[in-house]
Structure 1
Amino acid sequence: MAGLFANDSEQIDRRTSRSICDAVGERLQQSIRPEPRLPTHLERLLNELKQRDRDSH
């Protein structure tokens, strides 16, 4: 591991490192995030509200 830090010209500053870590973290969250799914009962209620809204117009 010491070989990674032997050449100071290859190091990046703390701010750049933080930006890279944040960007990688955001992309990982987007790619592994499961689709949000409501419980069946709530889905049914929302569908009923949508239908009533359509019927009232």
Structure 2
Amino acid sequence: MSSRTDDPSKTLDRATSRSICDAVGERLRRDLQPEPLQRSSRLEDLIDQLRQRDHESRARS
């Protein structure tokens, strides 16, 4: 895609273009952050079981 134009009043200088790109990028990073994982109670139970087994196996070693 070409962004060239013959009308100089519709062109952006390099600094302005960079500033706009940085602002858009920052907004995207902020708005598109992944939401924290909501674990189900079943998953929490399984994780607890793994921790317990790990603790027991270390106690036997």
Whichever structure has more helix as a proportion of its residues is 1
Aligned to 1:45: 46
Q: Which residue pairs with 2:27 in the alignment?
A: 24
Q: Give the match's secondary structure for 2:16.
A: coil
- Tell me how far 1:35 sits from its aligned partner: 3.1
Partner of 1:5: none
- The number of residue pairs the alignment matches comes to 47
Structure 1, unaligned runs of 5 or more: 1-7
Poorly superposed stretches of 4+, deviation over 6 Å: none
Alpha-carbon distance between aligned partners in 2 of 1:47 and 1:18, rounded to the nearest angstrom: 45
